Amino acid sequence: MAKRGRPAGVDSAETRQRIIDAARTIFSVRGYDGASVLKIAESAGLAPSAIYNHYENKETLYMAVFEETADAIWGSVSSATEEKTLVEAFDHLIKSSRRVSEDFPAYSDFLSYLPLEARFHPEFKKLMQRRAEFQDATFGSLAALGTSTGELPELHEYELKEVIRSLVMGWFFERHFRGAEIPGSGEIIIKFIKTVCSDANGALDNNEDGS
């Protein structure tokens, strides 16, 4: 039986992290409705009272898990925006996403189920807005890179952002729900971006030569 309260010699920050990590795994496996504070506490090696010392209820705990998980995931892939070209950025993003999924599968699983949870729990619709903000920050930066380098001159920045969103999130969800990545699919996306950028630049060069 778990001891009541926080274990001796463990500080508040460490206890909070244990709760978040345990909750992320339980929510990912059982879903929001199937998860219980008792089960999360058992997984964390704590008493339920320790969780209530940090979070008002299961809803606020779920929201806290989302914020930490989304920040970690998008923080790990947003470094792709520091590359010099859109092609290089896509290569970076695909590789970073793979590493996160392989090293921290519960993170990807948790975020993948959020749209479904939000359908059945209106209180989580605001998390969908936060999800969009995380996406917009990364995909918007990639689109700005692609337009500033002239790699895709025919698309406005907003249009390019939505193309990137569709490519990346489609690849992410297909990989998640299949339980494995379609072999070579990431490389195909990179090849597609490289080809489109090359064709666009070739057409631009031809127009300049003919002018």
Instruction: Write down the pLDDT at residue 2.
Output: 41
- Whole-number mean pLDDT of the chain? 89
Residue with tokens 């057409």: 203
pTM of the model: 0.85
Residue with tokens 């590493």: 99
Whether residue 94 contacts residue 189, with contact meaning beta carbons closer than 8 Å, is answered with yes
Instruction: Write down the pLDDT at residue 198.
Output: 83
Neighbours of 91 (CB within 10 A): 19
Counting residues of the chain whose pLDDT is more than 70, the rounded percentage is 89
pLDDT over threshold 80, residue 8: no
Counting residues of the chain whose pLDDT is more than 90, the rounded percentage is 79
Backbone φ and ψ of 110, nearest 5°: -60, -50
Instruction: Write down the pLDDT at residue 4.
Output: 44
